[in-house]
């Protein structure tokens, strides 16, 4: 097995994606398989969001294994701990990258991102959504203070209007437990669903634990003001 850092260092030119990004298939994943799974969700990212992220290389790995202090690309499903995704950020001064499993809260700004998705550890749709979820995690700290506060005020308004649900279980748990990072968690999850809706039709889920459609629409409208849909993209169908 190779470490993810080794795989990134050995990468060739890759295939062109939207936004000037590149796609790299790691054997035994084929370029055609990588494109079929990841090209469409990558294209769903609004250009304004892609510009915040900067240069990005997307790696379609078969599996991602945790080996203690190192993370590895694995051809077969690992017996031990594994990841659905992880990313590397490179410092402007050329500092060596460090692998970060997605969702661990350790985020740093940098001019280049190497993002690994384990596409054989899930079905094609789930792997595509995983891509959008990690990009949302990376975008959240790149919002301005005013943009972040506008979302926080929107959450306060929802609570005042009696909202009982959230965008997903993680955000709901953060709200109900008074997690100090609730706004960040909710924002990242909502941003992932916003890009999901730009990728293909999605339906609001009913029930007390889920976000009511009127609140979801209001969140999407706020995010559309920050990251407008590109020409040809439809948010509300």
Domain boundaries, the chain: 2-142, 145-226
Is the pTM higher than 0.85? The answer reads yes
Residue 220 · residue 235 · CB < 8 Å = yes
pLDDT at 205: 75
Write out the DSSP string of 145-196: HHHHHHHHHHHHHHHHTT---BSSHHHHHHHHTT-TTHHHHHHHHHHHHHHH
How confident is the model over 36-89, as pLDDT tens digits? 999 999 999 999 999 999 999 999 999 999 988 889 999 999 988 999 999 998
What is the rounded distance in angstroms from the CA atom of residue 101 to the CA atom of residue 82? 10
- Give the helix/strand (H/E) hosting 22: strand 22-25
Q: Are 121 and 77 in contact (CB under 8 A)?
A: yes
Does 106 score more than 50 pLDDT?
no
DSSP state of 121: S
Tokens 């979302």 belong to 151
């Amino acid at each position: 097995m190779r470490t993810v850092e080794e795989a990134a260092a050995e990468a060739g030119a890759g295939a062109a994606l939207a936004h000037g990004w590149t796609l790299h298939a790691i054997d035994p994943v084929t370029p055609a398989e990588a494109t079929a799974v990841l090209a469409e969700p990558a294209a769903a990212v609004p250009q304004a969001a892609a510009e915040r992220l900067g240069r990005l290389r997307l790696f379609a790995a078969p599996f991602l294994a945790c080996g203690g202090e190192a993370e590895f690309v694995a051809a077969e499903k690992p017996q031990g701990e594994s990841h659905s995704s992880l990313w590397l950020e490179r410092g402007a001064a050329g500092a060596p990258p460090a692998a970060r499993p997605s969702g661990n809260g350790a985020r740093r700004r940098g001019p280049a991102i190497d993002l690994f998705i384990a596409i054989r550890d899930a079905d094609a749709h789930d792997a595509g959504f995983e891509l959008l979820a990690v990009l949302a995690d990376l975008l959240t700290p790149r919002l301005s203070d005013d943009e972040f506060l506008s979302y926080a005020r929107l959450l306060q308004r929802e609570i005042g209007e009696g909202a009982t649900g959230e965008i997903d279980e993680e955000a709901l748990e953060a709200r109900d437990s008074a997690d100090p990072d609730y706004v960040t968690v909710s924002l990242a999850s909502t941003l992932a669903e916003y890009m999901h809706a730009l990728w293909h039709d999605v339906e609001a889920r009913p029930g007390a634990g889920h976000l009511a459609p009127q609140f979801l629409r209001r969140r999407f409208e706020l995010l559309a003001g920050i990251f407008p849909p590109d020409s040809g993209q439809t948010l509300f169908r």
